Amino acid sequence: MARLHTPEELDHFRKELLSQRDPSSPCISICAGAGCVASGAADVIQAFKATIKKEGLAATVDTKGTGCPGFCEQGPIVVIYPDEICYVQVKAEDVAEIVEKTIKENIPVDRLLYTDPVTGEKAVTESDIAFYRSQERNVLCNNIKIDSKNIDDYLAIGGYAALAKVLAEMTDLEVLEAVKQSKLRGRGGAGFPAGRKWEGSRNAADPIKYVIVNADEGDPGAFMDRALLEGNPHSILEGLIIGGYAIGAHEGYFYVRQEYPLAVENINHAITQAREYGLIGDNILNSGFDFKVFVHQGAGAFVCGESTALMTSLEGKVGEPRPKYVRSNLKGLWNHPSVLNNVETWANVPLIVNNGADWFASIGTDSSKGTKIFSLVGKITNTGLVEVPMGMSLKDIIFKIGGGIPNGKAFKAVQTGGPSGGCIPAEKLDLPVGFDELTQAGSMMGSGGMIVMDEDTCMVDVARYFIAFLTEESCGKCVPCREGLRQMHRILTNITQGKGQKGDLELLEELSETAVEASLCALGKSAPNPFMSTLRYFREEYEAHINEKRCPALSCRELISYIIDPQKCQACMICARKCPVDAIDGGKRKIHVIDQERCTRCGTCLEVCPSRFRAVTKLSGEPIPVPPSEDDRIISKKSKKE
Amino acid sequence: MSQIQFEIDGKKVTAEAGMTILEVAQREGIYIPTLCHHEKLAPYGGCRVCIVEVAEKGWTKLVVACVFPVKNNIRVQTRSPKVDRIRKTIIELLLAHAPDSPALVKLADTYGARKDRFVKDPSFCIHCGLCVRYCAEVAQKNAIGFVDRGIHKEISFNPEIAARECNDCKECFPLCPTSYLQAVFVYTQSLSSP
């Protein structure tokens, strides 16, 4: 492919691409995102390609592996254009039937359509599915339409039009003004207004400036950025180049964690293609603007997602945050003004240019504009990525889109904002999602992780888990974070093991204050959040653990006992056989009893006890009932009436 | 360089732009405790014990004096109930590692810090980084460095460089607020030249 020299050439090339693509001929899009690949998408893609070839349809039917559309729970997902018929949980064996019916005869295969668990209705297209219906997918929507390794696919849906517009028709100031007017706030965590950050760098006197993509997504359970990096890398790249133009930077960096190998591959591929087309390099589209892009792989430290640690790491030093009280947009990478934004923030930039700042600002709440992608995980029916307008209530996200809590359990809390976010309880479910709203509720937006917890989750254990994560990920430079978290983790572990003492909560609060007020970087300053928010909303759980040695959620191993209800046990021997430590005494027609001394509380007996008996239960904080006498344990032969 | 005027513990002072609060305080004879600071080394901001309160444009924030550059019209309080509380907790956290460090014991007296507040982790090193930074920035030998991260972080001599350089230098020894550094050196020496 030859280089595109001018905006007109780009436009002409796009038209040529579209003229070669018949919008009415079928196109099979198979999600090749990490979730679907894990459930077998690679085989499905292979099967489609082979079948289409075998049937001699290769000339008229396009088959492609695409980015992730977000409905990971139901993967592998296949969407067939032009009718947008959506199939879920597709296996390689289903491919022949899909080609036979849908491709050749345009008839949907009923059994592969999504069935609404509430209404029982079949959904033919994506937009018929409740999971998608309430979303507003401005950023994610293109993932399923394009082969992320093919720049032509991105161009065909209007890609790089924003860049061409910016270079040909707008001054750097106008671009900056548009981003400011859109009120776009950073999607990485703190929600700093992007326009203000850009303006600071733009106005700095230093002629050398940088733009950086923070793609070091490390929150447990979060994969928003991954889906974009893998599925639509050009959208981020286009945003980055536009940002470079607006602030006067000629070099851009992608800082991608190396645990995302496909993201690294796709970004590198996208950069190579964009360079070949002349969309990166010298004199882009004859504008006189030069821009280079480099990819740097993070070596696995969570703290490198913190902006100053990321820049230190980019410089080739140990990834520790800087102690300086100066903003990176004035003195950042190699002490030059540097604008660092998150993947999703950059991906929003072309949308703002194309649709206008007013369009963007019309979505969302007063202080939080646009849409936000959340990764909805945990005890939720529809695990996946959801993109919603800011201001939607947590309840709508969890119940309307997420389909609520599985297995008839009750909702308990949702953890937002990553490991250093907080837990929001049921009584706050009407809270609209927005940067300030979540912060006021003791949590934060973070980069968009949303972990849903049901009634079986112990909130003390949740706090312990996240503090443990942060203790491991602390860089160790400053005392309040390194030592404070070490002690907090120790105290929380003791509490979950029934070794909590009077005064522990006060000590934890003191350590929290020290970490929040005195830590060097945002990791330490926000690290106590999991403790502080669970204490705020679930103090009685902490008190039960400490004062009564009781875990109300029946979750903390050291505080619970498993018992077999003699009235319900049918002496079926299943639990006794499965018990890994032979702690269950019993026999045929002899009611089983758990030896509490031997029991390791693994829960196997509860899991395997047939649901028609439900004889195994958990206890916490109450005495173990005395088992029946040997004689009473013998079950006499059942009468026929039973 | 332009002059900055501000207030520290009620005293009006003038300083050069670019100076830190700690530098000005030391010049004025106002005591701010430090553990990881050394005048020959770049500010590190690790121990956080030099935390002070700064009032600027009507709102108060906590900053570390060894890094924060002075600004016009700020009001610095080197002690307050909150500052003292945080310093006490920091000292107590470090006492769990090095309960007999003279520098810590002295600070503990001032701030009422207890040795037994936290479960002991007698690693002796308090990660002030003075030895590592002195060796890199002043001696320029890089014979000692940090290994690992977070709570697993340790100081460690590079035996090859240490065998060559350290015997004639040892300038880092008196910097160590605990006696741990010397012990590590002796250990490394015994490994490299048995």
Q: How far is A414 from chain B (nearest CA, A)?
A: 28
pLDDT in the model for residue A119: 87
pLDDT in the model for residue A221: 86
pLDDT tens string A551-587: 999 999 999 999 999 999 999 999 999 999 999 998 8
Q: Which of A344, A349, A261, A341 is nearest to A305 (CA)?
A: A341
Q: Please return the burial class of A107, using the count of CB atoms within 10 Å of its CB with bins 0-12, 13-18 and 19+.
A: exposed
pLDDT at A638 over 70: no
**Structure confidence at residue B114 as a pLDDT band (50, 70, 90):** very high
Please give the residue of chain B at the shortest CA–CA distance from A468.
B151
* Bond before A82 cis per omega within 30 degrees: yes
Nearest to A323 among B44, B62, B146 (CB): B44
- Which residues in A lie closer than 8 A to residue B127 (C-beta atoms)? 476-477, 479, 482
Averaged pLDDT for residues A374-382 = 95
Q: Which domains does chain A have, with CATH numbers?
A: 7-144 (3.40.30.10), 159-361 (3.40.50.11540), 371-454 (3.10.20.600), 459-547 (1.20.1440.230), 560-633 (3.30.70.20)
Nearest to A517 among B62, B118, B146 (CB): B62
Please give the residue of chain B at the shortest CA–CA distance from A469.
B150
pLDDT tens string A283-340: 999 999 999 999 999 988 999 999 999 999 999 999 999 998 999 999 999 999 999 9
Q: How far is A525 from chain B (nearest CA, A)?
A: 12
**Structure confidence at residue A522 as a pLDDT band (50, 70, 90):** very high
Q: What is the mean pLDDT of chain B?
A: 92
Cross-chain residue pair B90–A479, CB shorter than 8 Å: yes
pLDDT tens string A390-412: 999 999 999 999 999 999 999 99
One-letter identity of residue A482? R
- Which residues in B lie closer than 8 A to residue A477 (C-beta atoms)? 44-46, 127
Interface test with B, best of A479, A493, A504, A517 (most B CBs within 10 A): A479
Measured CA to CA in angstroms, residue A237 lies from A267, A531, A613, B111 at distances of 8, 38, 58, 53
Share of chain A above pLDDT 90, in %: 90
pLDDT at A642 over 50: no
Strand partners, A384: A376
ipTM of the complex: 0.95
pLDDT tens string A113-153: 999 888 889 999 998 999 999 999 999 999 999 999 999 99
pLDDT in the model for residue A1: 64
Q: How far is A204 from chain B (nearest CA, A)?
A: 18
pLDDT tens string A430-478: 999 999 999 999 999 988 999 999 999 999 999 999 999 999 999 999 9
pLDDT tens string B173-191: 999 998 777 777 777 777 7
pLDDT tens string A235-286: 999 999 999 999 999 999 999 999 999 999 999 999 999 999 999 999 999 9
Cross-chain residue pair A476–B68, CB shorter than 8 Å: no
**Structure confidence at residue B1 as a pLDDT band (50, 70, 90):** low
Q: Which of B65, B49, B51, B67 is nearest to B107 (CA)?
A: B49
pLDDT at B79 over 50: yes
pLDDT at B95 over 60: yes
Nearest to A518 among B43, B48, B151 (CB): B48
Domain boundaries, chain B: 3-77, 80-122, 130-192
Please give the residue of chain B at the shortest CA–CA distance from A517.
B62
Count the alpha carbons within 13 Å of A247 in the hemisphere toward its beta carbon. Answer: 35
Interface test with B, best of A325, A335, A506 (most B CBs within 10 A): A325
pLDDT tens string B138-182: 999 999 999 999 999 999 999 889 889 988 898 999 999 987 777
**Structure confidence at residue A641 as a pLDDT band (50, 70, 90):** very low
pLDDT tens string A489-512: 999 999 999 999 999 999 999 999
pTM: 0.93
Q: A554 with A563: CB under 8 angstroms?
A: no
Token pair listed for A399: 């119940």
**Structure confidence at residue A609 as a pLDDT band (50, 70, 90):** very high
pLDDT at A640 over 60: no
Greater model confidence, A220 or A374: A374
Compute CA B2 distance to the chain's CA centroid, rounded to the nearest angstrom.
29
Q: What is the mean pLDDT of chain A?
A: 94
Helices (H), B112-158: 130-133
- Give the strand order in the sheet containing B51-56: B11-16, B3-8, B75-77, B51-56, B59-64
Greater model confidence, A636 or B39: B39
Q: How far is A309 from chain B (nearest CA, A)?
A: 13
Domain B3-77 is of which CATH architecture? Roll (3.10)
Q: How far is A487 from chain B (nearest CA, A)?
A: 7
Strand partners, B156: B145
Count the alpha carbons within 13 Å of A31 in the hemisphere toward its beta carbon. Answer: 34
First to last CA, chain B: 55
pLDDT at A483 over 60: yes
- Which residues in B lie closer than 8 A to residue A487 (C-beta atoms)? 93, 96, 118-119
